[in-house]
């Protein structure tokens, strides 16, 4: 009797993620599982990948009492290639979960903090590079599920947003957003993979979000107390993501879910930053509250973009997942500071 592990849709159909199923081979185990969980489960097996003890397996692979059979369906109807049962968090299995390999997000955060200490021009240059890396990472994950998203309009829009915001302030950001929409829709005309509402709409949404985010950060940096406000923003999100990482990796559920704990941590970090740097403590408190709320929305945005579904408490695929929340938080932070500071 082997140990059966189920993920995503198969787990939902079966009503459990783990079961003891009799059988001396993978085929026998899956047939017994299909008899137990019904025809919908059996149909789901048709597109699933099977692993035994962390290694790819076939139907003829023999299994024993101490063997674990992991069944991983494609993410959101896409390909199951790249999934590995050794790296998963309950429902979402990924090849290199960012919550377990936080090096690249930390490097990105450190680069932004370091460039912020220097001149605003260096901050803008580093911002373009990191935003471009995020686009490459997030769109690459979307490509794995065959979403048809195209990264090039977003990469062009990042440069335009930073340059226009630098040159013409908020009017420049508005122009950059309008041009990003024009670029995406024009690109869709000449790109076969974007000839669907899902691919064109997804590319447009992600492009507009990254355009507004990068432009907003430039405007904050160029404004009053720009250096300290950017530092406070980065620290708030860094603290929130560290708390999220610790809570997702903890066996103890506690009395706060990871999102709530992370949002509270961001709020506290913002208040502390306001006491240390900001001339208007009230403005920073309100801005910190907005960032804390946007953090959760940003996680949802990143999940939908990367997987096509909402996995809020699971490890998401990609190497720059912590930047997902920053993209939605940045324009909210800029607007609140502009209104109340």
Q: Are residues 112 and 63 in the same domain?
A: no
Structure-token match 């993920």, residue found: 7
* φ and ψ of 91, to 5 deg: -105, -30
Residue 26, domain member (yes or no): yes
- Tell whether 182 and 305 lie within a shared domain: yes
Domain boundary among the residues 73, 95, 127 is at 73
Query: By the 8 A CB rule, do 121 and 227 touch?
Result: no
Residue among 130, 152, 127 nearest 139 (CA): 152
Q: What is the CATH number of the domain that holds 15?
A: 3.10.20.30
Residue 16 near residue 5 (C-beta atoms within 8 A): no
Per-residue model confidence (pLDDT) at position 88: 43
**Which residue among 73, 90, 123 closes a domain?**
73
| Strand locations in the chain (E) | 2-6, 18-21, 49-52, 55-56, 68-72, 88-89, 92-93
Measure Cα distances from 337 to 88, 174, 192, 223, 340 in Å: 39, 18, 42, 10, 5
Whether residue 110 is found in the same domain as residue 24: no
Note whether 144 and 219 are same-domain residues. Answer: yes
Residues 37 and 143 in one domain: no
Is 190 among the domain residues? yes
Is residue 142 a part of any domain in this protein? yes
- For the chain, the straight-line distance linking the first and the last C-alpha, in angstroms and rounded, comes to 65
pLDDT at 46: 76
- Written as six digits, the tokens of 273 are 């930053």
Which of 220, 217, 221, 197 has the alpha carbon at shortest distance from 209? 217
pLDDT of residue 157: 96
The predicted pLDDT at position 81 comes to 41
In angstroms, the CA 83 to CA 48 distance is 11
**CB neighbourhood size of 144 (10 A):** 23
79 within domain boundaries: no
Q: E strands along 159-237, which residues?
A: none
Q: Judge if 236 and 315 occupy the same domain.
A: yes
Domain-embedded: residue 87: no
Token digits of residue 238: 């860094």
Long-range CB contact pairs, 336-341, < 8 A, 24+? 336/283, 336/286, 336/287, 336/290, 337/220, 337/223, 337/229, 337/283, 337/287, 338/223, 340/280, 340/282, 340/283, 340/286, 340/287, 341/224, 341/225, 341/280, 341/283, 341/287
150 shares its domain with 226: yes
Find the angle CA(249)-CA(328)-CA(176) to the nearest 5 degrees. 145
- Let me know if 243 is exposed, middle or buried by CB neighbors in 10 A (0-12, 13-18, 19+): buried
Question: Are residues 49 and 137 located together in one domain of the fold?
Answer: no
Angle between helices 323-340 and 120-144 (to 10 degrees): 140
CA gap 153, 186 in Å, rounded: 9
- Domain annotation covers residue 91: no
Write down the pLDDT at residue 205: 94
Q: Are residues 21 and 140 in the same domain?
A: no
Q: In the chain, how many domains are there? A: 2
Rounded to whole angstroms, the Cα distance separating 319 from 268 reads 27
Q: What is the dihedral sign for C-alpha 203, 205, 206, 212?
A: positive
- Report d(CA 76, CA 70) in Å as an integer: 18
Residue (of 194, 189, 192) closest to 149 by Cα position: 194
Q: Confirm if 131 and 165 have CB atoms less than 8 A apart.
A: no
Do 157 and 203 fall into the same domain?
yes
Expressed as residue numbers, the domain containing 161 is 103-340
* pLDDT tens across the length of the chain (341 residues): 788 888 767 777 787 778 888 888 888 889 998 888 888 888 878 777 788 887 778 888 888 887 888 887 654 433 334 444 444 444 444 433 333 446 788 889 899 999 999 899 999 999 999 999 999 999 988 877 667 789 999 999 999 999 999 999 999 999 999 999 999 999 999 988 788 888 899 999 999 999 999 999 999 999 988 999 999 999 999 998 888 878 766 655 566 777 788 888 988 998 888 888 766 778 888 888 888 888 888 888 888 888 777 766 666 778 888 899 899 999 999 998 888 86
Residue 172 within a domain: yes
Q: Is 146 part of any domain?
A: yes
The H-or-E segment that residue 48 falls in is none
Q: Do 68 and 185 sit in the same domain of this protein?
A: no
Q: What is the pLDDT of residues 239-283, one digit of tens each?
A: 988 888 787 666 555 667 777 888 889 889 988 888 887 667 788
Note whether 62 and 112 are same-domain residues: no
């Amino acid at each position: 009797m082997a140990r059966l592990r189920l993920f995503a849709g198969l787990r939902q159909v079966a009503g459990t993620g783990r079961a003891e199923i009799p059988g001396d081979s993978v085929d026998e185990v899956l047939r017994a599982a299909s008899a137990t969980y019904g025809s919908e489960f059996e149909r789901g097996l048709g597109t699933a990948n099977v692993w035994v003890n962390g290694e790819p397996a076939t139907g003829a692979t023999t299994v024993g009492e101490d063997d674990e059979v992991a069944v991983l369906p494609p993410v959101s109807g896409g390909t199951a290639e790249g999934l590995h049962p050794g790296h998963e968090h309950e429902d979402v299995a990924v090849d290199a979960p960012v919550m377990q390999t936080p090096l690249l997000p930390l490097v990105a955060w450190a680069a932004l903090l370091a460039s912020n200490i220097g001149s605003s021009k260096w901050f803008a240059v580093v911002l373009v590079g990191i935003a471009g890396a995020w686009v490459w990472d997030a769109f690459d994950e979307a490509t794995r599920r065959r979403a048809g998203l195209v990264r090039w309009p977003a990469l062009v829009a990042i440069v335009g947003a930073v340059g226009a915001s630098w040159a013409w302030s908020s009017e420049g950001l508005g122009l950059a957003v309008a041009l990003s929409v024009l670029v995406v829709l024009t690109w869709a005309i000449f790109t076969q993979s974007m000839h669907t509402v899902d691919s064109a709409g997804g590319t447009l949404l992600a492009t507009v979000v990254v355009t507004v985010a990068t432009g907003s950060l430039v405007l904050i940096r160029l404004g009053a107390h720009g250096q300290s406000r950017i530092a406070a923003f980065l620290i708030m999100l860094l603290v929130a993501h560290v708390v999220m990482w610790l809570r997702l990796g903890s066996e103890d559920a506690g009395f706060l879910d990871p999102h709530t704990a992370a949002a509270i941590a961001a709020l506290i970090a913002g208040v502390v930053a306001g006491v240390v740097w900001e001339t208007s403590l009230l403005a920073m408190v309100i801005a910190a509250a907005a960032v804390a709320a946007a953090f959760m929305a940003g996680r949802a945005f990143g999940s939908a973009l990367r997987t096509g579904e909402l996995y809020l408490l699971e490890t998401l695929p990609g190497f720059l997942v912590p930047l997902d929340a920053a993209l939605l938080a940045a324009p909210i932070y800029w607007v609140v500071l502009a209104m109340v500071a």
